[in-house]
Amino acid sequence: MKLLFKQRFFSWFDSYDIYNEQGETVYTVKGELAWGHKLNIYDAHGVHIGTIREEIFTFLPRFNIIINGEQVGCIRKEFTFFKPVFTLDYKNWTVEGDYFEWEYDVRDGYGNTVVTASKELFNWTDTYTIEYDDKANELTALMIVLAIDAAKCSQNK
C-alpha cells in the first residue's frame, strides 16, 4: 500500500496533502504557529487525528508523535558526523536512512521492513512516496516521515 505526500507550493506554514494510490486525499497536514514545528494531521473528513510536535530547548531535533491526544512515541535525530541516524521510540521500531537522507526504512523489532519512504527529486515541493505493509501502520508511517522531514528543516535553519 502507498501514500503520496506532497507539500503545498503556496503555504505560509508547513502544509501537506496526502493521497492514496487512487489519487484521493486521505489526510491533510497543517502547520501551526508554535515554538518549534507543530503539525496537525486531519483525516479525509477534517477530523483531527494526530500531531507531530517538536520539543524545544533540545540540542538536536526531537519530535513527539501524538495520536488522538495521546503521546505514542518520539523520534529524534542523533549526533553523527556522516550518516544520519534517527532514533524512534515506538513499538521497538528502528529507522535507517541513506547518506543523503532521501530514503528511509522503518523496521520492526524482528528486522522486517514495515515502512519505506522515498523522496522524489526534481519537484517544486517536498514529495515523498510512503510504502507500508499493514493498514494499521498507515498513520504512524506518515507521522514518522513528517517528523524526519521537519527534523531536516530544523537543522537547515
- Residue 101 has phi, psi (to 5 degrees) of 65, 25
Contact 118, 127 (CB under 8 A): no
- d(CA 115, CA 67) in angstroms, rounded, equals 18
- d(CA 61, CA 97) in angstroms, rounded, equals 16
- Mean pLDDT over all residues of the chain? 83
* pLDDT for position 3: 92
What does the pLDDT look like over 64-116, one tens digit per residue?
A: 999 999 999 999 887 777 776 788 899 999 988 774 667 889 999 999 999 99
How deeply is 96 buried, as exposed, middle or buried, from its count of CB atoms within 10 A (0-12, 13-18, 19+)?
Answer: middle
Counting every residue written for the chain, the total comes to: 157
- d(CA 48, CA 27) in angstroms, rounded, equals 10
- End-to-end CA distance of the chain: give it in Å, rounded: 34
- d(CA 77, CA 87) in angstroms, rounded, equals 6
pLDDT at 11 over 70: no
- Which DSSP symbol is given to 143? H
More confident residue, 4 or 154: 4
* pLDDT for position 43: 95
